[in-house]
Structure 1
Amino acid sequence: MLGMGEEEIEKEYETFRLDLERMVEERLKSIEKRIKTLEDEVERVGKETENILNNKVNNKDKHNKRKRGFKL
């Protein structure tokens, strides 16, 4: 059987391990939240960029058709 000193060390170790595990889980949740925020931002910027490019292409097409005498 373990002596009192060893039992106390094991209890301290287990407490430390659980605290560390909890801290790591909280940190991972924080990182996952940041990643989700960044993914949402990338998607938003991507959609805005796509809309801007589509508008430029559409405007260029309209301009080219007008130059050739076609009207929309």
Structure 2
Amino acid sequence: MPTWDQRLIDLERAANSQDYCDELIATAAKHGVVISELASLSQAAASTSRVPSGHPEGYLEAFANLYREFAL
């Protein structure tokens, strides 16, 4: 779950309220979604990052391969 958009999750509130977390999990489950993990960047860092959440090494590796192919 991306954490940089406070419309999806309020990290400060989640850190301080188990009830909020339970409500968030229940709301997601009602729509068939299971929250398996949170994006690893803080909200402030994610808003300025150009690398997407998920698997940043794979993202960078893919572009390195494209660059290598064009450079040769």
Larger Rg: 1
TM-score over 0.5 for the pair: no
Of structures 1 and 2, the one with the larger relative CO (CA 8 A, separation 6+) is: 2
Q: Which has the larger share of helix?
A: 1
